[in-house]
Every structure is written in structure tokens, then in C-alpha cells.
């Protein structure tokens, strides 16, 4: 049995490794879903820089306003640029034939934080680098040959790829992409850009599960309740058994 298991692991491992999009270690996002200011900034970033191409089809504007502690007029003034109504879900301005422009349809981002994780998203938005062979002049460290342009280039600036010489299986040297380095500056300092991306990713994390913050605080409450209940149950047990001994 153990042998079988081991064999399966050995056979599956290379397949798993190949399915991975990139082997470069991810950056740490450091998001906090309870930080309402960060979520509000993230929502604004998303609406300004992402919603032109990406939808959030499971999130309604009015739900978002409520969770992000905004009034509907504030919402309309800051976050609703299309003729949507507050009960609408967040659609992108992208026509359905966008695939012909990008080679790929920009995906709906409702569940992206749940499927790929916040660290991946944070890394992906830090991963664009200049590559003249690509149609938009950029490639991505974490999603090789990404069809998405570097929409935050004016914020971050442009990065250049860093290669390392590594021998391949046959012993001959080849260039391997190992990272990126700053090349031309953008409007933001690196820390500002980090915060900008952190807020945006935080918002995507919220959008993937609007009840997450509530669920977590409920979890703490339930655990505390169970602990108090345990104490009482223990006292009661002692009371019942004290005459038996």
C-alpha cells in the first residue's frame, strides 16, 4: 500500500510541477480583510484600473457599499462610472469579442483570490517586465506570456528581466529568467506601489467572499462561547460526581 502511494506521488510530482505556472517564489501580500480603509482604496483602484476589462459578476454595488461602509451617493460618486444601478453586479466595459484584441478574454475576477491566492495576485501585479517580443511590450514573471498589458505601468514604472546562466539537462548553458529589476521609474515610489497593489488585492480577496470578515469574527465568538460552555460543563460534572466518590 505504502509502496503504491509513494509510486503515485513520484508519478504525479512532475505532472504537478509542469502544471505550475512559474517556479519563482511568490511575494507576501500582507493583506488584511478587516481594514476598511484599505478595502475602500482597493475598490477605487479596481474601478479605475481594472473594471475596464474585468468584471466582478458576483458582487453587487450596493452590497459592496454596505460592506465598505459607504453611502450610496458616495458609491455613485466614487465607484460607479458606468450607467449601472446600485443593485447591479460589477460588469466590465469589455465587449465579448475582447478575445480578438488580447488573444484571451480578460477573466471575471470574482473568485480569482480564492482560486489563486492573495500572494499570487500581489506577485502577478509586481511581475510585469519589458519584453519587446510580446504584443504589449511586456511579459509577466508569474504568468509567462500573459495576454494582459501592464495597465499599472504609469504607477510602477517598467522593470527589466534578470536572467541567470544555468546548465540544462545536457550540460549546455541556457539563460533562465529568475527575477525582475527596476528600469524606468513610475509615478509612485516602490512602497507606494506596494500599498496600491496590496489594497487592490485586499479588495479582490473581499470580493471573492464578502462574508469572510464576518465569518472570521463569528468564528472567534463561537470559540469563546464553547470555551465558556466547557468551563460550565466541567463544573456541572464535578457537582454531579462529588457524592459518588
Closer by beta carbon to ligand HEC, 100 or else 165: 100
Least separation, in Å, of the C-beta of 78 and ligand HEC? 17
Least separation, in Å, of the C-beta of 36 and ligand HEC? 20
| Count of residues interacting with ligand HEC (CB under 6 A) | 23
Q: How many CB atoms lie within 10 A of CB 53?
A: 19
Residue of 26, 50, 59, 118 that binds ligand HEC (CB under 6 A)? 50
Residue of 39, 146, 180, 207 that binds ligand HEC (CB under 6 A)? 146
Closer by beta carbon to ligand HEC, 52 or else 190: 52
Closer by beta carbon to ligand HEC, 47 or else 213: 47
What does the alpha-carbon distance between residue 133 and residue 51 come to, in Å, rounded to a whole number?
27
Residue of 143, 158, 177, 188 that binds ligand HEC (CB under 6 A)? 143
What does the alpha-carbon distance between residue 220 and residue 231 come to, in Å, rounded to a whole number?
17
Least separation, in Å, of the C-beta of 92 and ligand HEC? 9
Closer by beta carbon to ligand HEC, 48 or else 89: 48
Residues that bind ligand HEC (CB under 6 A): 49-50, 52-54, 102, 104, 106-107, 109, 112, 116, 121, 124-125, 143, 146-149, 151-152, 200
Amino acid at each position: 500500500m505504502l509502496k503504491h502511494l509513494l509510486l503515485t506521488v513520484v508519478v504525479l510530482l512532475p505532472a504537478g510541477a509542469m502544471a505550475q505556472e512559474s517556479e519563482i517564489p511568490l511575494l507576501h501580500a500582507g493583506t488584511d480583510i478587516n481594514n476598511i480603509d484599505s478595502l475602500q482604496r482597493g475598490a477605487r483602484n479596481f474601478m479605475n484600473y481594472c473594471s475596464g476589462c474585468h468584471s466582478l459578476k458576483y458582487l453587487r454595488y450596493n452590497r459592496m457599499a454596505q460592506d465598505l461602509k459607504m453611502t450610496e451617493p458616495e458609491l455613485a460618486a466614487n465607484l460607479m462610472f458606468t450607467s449601472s444601478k446600485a443593485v447591479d453586479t460589477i460588469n466590465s466595459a469589455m465587449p465579448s469579442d475582447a478575445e480578438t484584441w488580447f488573444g484571451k478574454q480578460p477573466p471575471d475576477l470574482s473568485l480569482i483570490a480564492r482560486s489563486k491566492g492573495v500572494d499570487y495576485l500581489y506577485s502577478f501585479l509586481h511581475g510585469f517586465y519589458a519584453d519587446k517580443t510580446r504584443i504589449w511590450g511586456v511579459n509577466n514573471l508569474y504568468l509567462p506570456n500573459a495576454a494582459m498589458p501592464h495597465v499599472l505601468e504609469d504607477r510602477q514604472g517598467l522593470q527589466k528581466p534578470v536572467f541567470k546562466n544555468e546548465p540544462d539537462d545536457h550540460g549546455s548553458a541556457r539563460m533562465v529568467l529568475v527575477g525582475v529589476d527596476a528600469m524606468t521609474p513610475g509615478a509612485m515610489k516602490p512602497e507606494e506601489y506596494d500599498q496600491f497593489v496590496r489594497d487592490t488585492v485586499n479588495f479582490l480577496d473581499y470580493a471573492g467572499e464578502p462574508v469572510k470578515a464576518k465569518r472570521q469574527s463569528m468564528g472567534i465568538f463561537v470559540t469563546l462561547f464553547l470555551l465558556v460552555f466547557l468551563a460550565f460543563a466541567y463544573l456541572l460534572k464535578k457537582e454531579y460526581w462529588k457524592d459518588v466518590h
